[in-house]
Structure 1
Amino acid sequence: MPYEPLPDLATLSLAEIAALNDARKLPPVAQWNPQTSGDSLMTIRADGRWFHDGGEIRRPAMIRAFAGLLRREGDGRYWLVTPVEKQSIKVEDAAFIATDVAAQDGALAFKLNTDEIIVAGPDHPLVARGTAELPAIYLAVRNGCEARINRSTWLQLVELADADLTAASQGVRFALVPA
């Protein structure tokens, strides 16, 4: 079945976003605890590009498939997890990059570099790190993984923010600069 790219984020309602997210059946990696482990020889670079054994993975479908298997454990290590095995994966900064944002129905919806949409809120908080001069904003995605908000998306987010540089989504307020 061929992959259908997402429509423009700004054209989607919150209900349409929810329907798209429900239609994407992600594996239950949080429930899997395989005993066998190894090294995937994979790296997700800080700019969001994926590499295997030094060569860049250029097929978006492969990246989307691997992204659905990602989990970050309490010790900070990242894994690609299946029911029978988990393989370590190096992540230089964040597992995902948020490349667009739209305000819809009292919520902030973010498009990721993996063609997923995550709505910020209680289950997907925004966290400001770095300094006031050089903030780094992250969005909780799933299974302990985060998306770093890229510069252009951060600028979009600032335009949507209040004068005190906070933004609200699903009834929760988030600071856009670290305290």
Structure 2
Amino acid sequence: MPYDVPPDLNALTLSQAAELVAARKLPPVSQWSPAVIGDSEMRIAADGRWFHQGGEIRRPAMVRAFASLLLRDDRGRHWLVTPAEKLSIEVEDAAFIATDVRAEGDALVFRLNTDDLVIAGPDHPIRSHGDPETPAIYLSVRNGTEARLNRSTYGQLAEIALAGGDLSVTSRGATFDLVPA
């Protein structure tokens, strides 16, 4: 299956971004309860690179396919889930990296390192972690997984917040403080 790179985030309107999000048919991993549980021998590094048995997975389409099968449980463990197997996967920080953000109207649209688009809001909250000197900002993605904002995306988000007069942002009616408590 060929991999089609999505359009530049700045070229999309909010409605176009929402259409792309809705059109992405993701597997219902949270509904599957496979009997076979094991180890995938995979790792997602803190910088968003994927590895299998020590070797980096370099094909974006493969990473995107595996990413669609991710789930994080209530204990914070990450899993690759199929109808037949549930395989643990080591995640050093977050399963995804937010690489770009765009504000339009009352929404913030993020692009992830997997080219997924996520619209922040009540279903996809932003949380601040760390301390005020070294904050780490995360975006809820799906099935308990999160994306950590990379440095440039954090800078973009801070500019959006400062344009509003403080260090918080609003998206889809929800307000998120960017300064860790």
**TM-score computed with the length of structure 2 as normaliser:** 0.97
Mapping for residues 126-165 of structure 1, pairs under 5 Å: 126-161=126-161, 162-165=164-167
Deviations 1:96-117 (A, max 9, x none): 0000000012100000000000
CA RMSD across the alignment: 0.8
Residue 13 (str. 1) matches residue 13 (str. 2): yes
Corresponding residue number in structure 1 for 2:180: 178
Aligned to 2:56: 56
Counterparts of 1:38 and 1:76, CA distance in 2? 17
Q: Does 1:66 align with 2:79?
A: no
- 1:32-66 deviation digits (Å, cap 9, x = unpaired): 01111110000000000000000000000000000
1:107 aligned onto 2:130:
no
> Secondary structure in 2 aligned to 1:122?
coil
* Counterpart Cα distance in 2 of 1:122 and 1:77: 23
Distance in 2 (alpha carbons) for counterparts of 1:61 and 1:103: 27
SS at match of 2:140: strand
Provide the residue aligned with 2:22 in structure 1.
22
Runs of 4+ in 1 over 6 A off after TM superposition: none
Structure 2: distance between partners of 1:12 and 1:94: 26
Counterpart for residue 93 of structure 2: 93
Structure 1: gaps (5+ residues): none
Shift of 1:144: 0.4
What is the aligned partner in structure 2 of residue 124 from structure 1? 124
8 Å contact from structure 1 (residues 13, 105) kept in 2: no
Residue of structure 2 equivalent to 1:167: 169
Separation of aligned partners in 2, 1:55 and 1:3: 21
Secondary structure of 1:142's match?
A: coil
Q: Unpaired runs of 5+ in structure 2?
A: none
Q: Secondary structure at the match of 1:33?
A: coil
| Offset of residue 13 of structure 1 | 1.2
Give the length in aligned residue pairs.
Answer: 179
Cα offset for 1:15? 1.0
* Percent identity of equivalent pairs: 64
Q: TM-score, normalised by structure 1?
A: 0.98
CA distance in 2, matches of 1:106, 1:45: 33
Distance between the aligned counterparts of 1:73 and 1:174, measured in 2? 24
By how many angstroms is 1:21 displaced?
Answer: 1.2
